[in-house]
Chains A and B, each alone.
Chain A
Amino acid sequence: MSTNVAIEIKDLTKKYDDKVAVDGINLEIYKGECFGLLGPNGAGKSTTMKMMYCSALVTSGELYVLGLNVKKNYREIKSRIGVVPQEDGLDPDFTVLENLRVYASFHNIPSAEADLRAQALLRLMKLEEYQDRSVETLSGGMKRRLAIARGLINSPEVVFLDEPTTGLDPQARIWIWDFFKHLKSEKSTLVLTTHYMEEAEQMCDRVAIIDDGRILTVGKPRDLIRELIGKEVVEFDTNPVDLNYYLGRLRAEGFSYQVIKDTVSVLVKENQEGRRVVDLIASDKIYIRKPTLNDVFLKLAGHQLRDE
């Protein structure tokens, strides 16, 4: 394995009893990149990530993190990675600072060193004035920031973030994504799961789109959008009667499209013109927009990413 690979996955599967959660995944994640696992709830992205951070057993296949086998070297892996789980898992018995101290003790960080790191992280996460507050009194955004600080206390080489912004209000989300930009600028390797397509598009160097425990595609968000969708999307609503007529006209003009219920999304390629579609379709509910990763997912999985 080359030295710039942080995570290597070969034919990875995970079964819970007889239910297949992850179905033969192959993937490489490089050092220094921000990698996003995208997919609807239950697609298997959190399970895949749990196997990477050694909190779920591998059913079959190979999984190496920092060149170490998760089946054998999980203790060493866990001391070199940082994890921010979906449920923060903060200890309600303790204050903000104590949460970091206790967690540092599990990482075997000497207490003087742990205090220094905890103080620095609390400053970085804008939590220093709350350090003696019980975690129960913190807002959702502050709790998430504390969970992130906790995940960074051992100066990890890879940071795993499971749905880092889910359930937060917009301001808290923006704060956290800005912080990830800071982490990225420091060349940390970030692996995250999310349903926020726009954010994944901006943040992630590469993404894997996952559904039903399989990887549908992997690549740079912009490349995926350009190759699979095109330069823009024209979306319009219609009724079942007119639908086939419109689709016929679009086909004749060489447009590809995808249909969800009564909404048609026309995928406009580089050499095509979105205005042309507007001329073809007599609908007043028609607009042109930029294509997103959501369109990519729709094309590959045949259903909407937000569907649960």
Chain B
Amino acid sequence: MKFKDYFSIPKMNDGALKVWSRNFLYFKKTWLVSLFWIVLEPVIYLGAIGFGLGAFVNNMGGMSYIEFFFPALLSSTAMMVAFFEGTYGNYTKLTHQKTYATIMLTRVGPEEIVGGELLWAASKGFFGVMGVTIVAMFFGLVDSYRILLVLPVLFLLSALFSCIGMIFTSFARNYDSFIYSTSGLIVPMSLLSGTYFPLEQLPMGLRYIAYLFPLTHAVAAVRGILHQGPILWIGVHILVLLIATWICMNISFFRIRKKLLK
């Protein structure tokens, strides 16, 4: 296993889209359940934290608390939905359901399976973002064309966590394995990435650690775009997300291909 093997995205055919479509077909059958957890849950956060708790906060550096919190809500929705699809969803198809083994009986190979699955989990994260955006419109939170600039960033974030989910899936021994990644990574990240309060509130050391979190960069980029922050820093945050996605995508291809082809 050479180091460069981690960095070769394989060529793939339209099979990846067929894998995506398989998942979309299932999604259409179960959209009501999906709606509950990928949209309703964030909306409850929006109400409870944004409006409820936020009513006690007067000023967040020139914006209301709900304005401060909304970009974080969009970002963490993308992260959560893509990550859980990438872990529990993919692990089920890899192991219990033997979905991937069955797909491999056709001309569709491991490259297309991984490609299609990564794209699917990213799409599902993005559907969550769209749902939250639509709901937020009714609360008057989306009042600018700038939301359109934010959506690609959120898709990128979904793609990143879809890849991170896939990597955890490739190491998982059972469903309980995901407790480590959820409690050890996803939950702390969703709390400490400048989501509910500004990073400046964190103790110095922790603040630097927070900059290692991809979510921190996503929240900063989204907030920057929506509230006209400095372009240079927005660019830097997006670049960090791009690099992280590239690396994680390569690792997930390598890991799952090795698992599927023995």
> Taking beta carbons and an 8 Å cutoff, which residues of A are in contact with B?
16, 53, 55-57, 74-76, 78-79, 83, 85, 87, 89-94, 98, 102-103, 105-108, 151, 154
Contact = CB atoms under 8 A, between A and B. Distances in A.
B56 interface: no
B203 to A, nearest CB: 46
B21 A105 contact: yes
B26 A78 contact: no
Contacts of B29: 93
A107 B15 CA distance: 9
A89 B262 contact: no
B102 A79 contact: no
B179 interface: no
A291 to B, nearest CB: 37
Contacts of A151: 105
B21 A75 contact: no
Interface string B119-160: 000000000000000000000000000000000000000000
A85 B101 CA distance: 10
Nearest to B101: A89
A108 B101 contact: no
B25 A98 contact: yes
Contact of A55 (B18, B19, B97, B104): B104
A85 B105 contact: yes
Nearest to B23: A93
A106 B15 contact: yes
B171 to A, nearest CB: 19
A106 B103 contact: yes
Nearest to A90: B102
A138 B14 CA distance: 32
Interface stretch (B43-51, B106-114, B225-233, B244-252): B106-114
Nearest to B22: A102
A76 to B, nearest CB: 8
Given A76-B107, A89-B99, A103-B106, 15 more contacts: A55-B104, A57-B262, A78-B107, A83-B105, A85-B101, A85-B102, A89-B102, A91-B22, A91-B99, A91-B102, A93-B97, A106-B103, A106-B108, A107-B106, A108-B15
Nearest to A95: B29
Contacts of A79: 106-107
Contact of A102 (B14, B25, B98): B25
Nearest to A101: B25
Pairs A-B, 9 closest by C-beta atoms: A89-B102, A106-B106, A89-B98, A79-B107, A75-B107, A83-B105, A93-B26, A106-B108, A78-B107
Given A16-B262, A57-B261, A94-B25, A108 B14 contact: yes
Nearest to B261: A57
A94 B102 contact: no
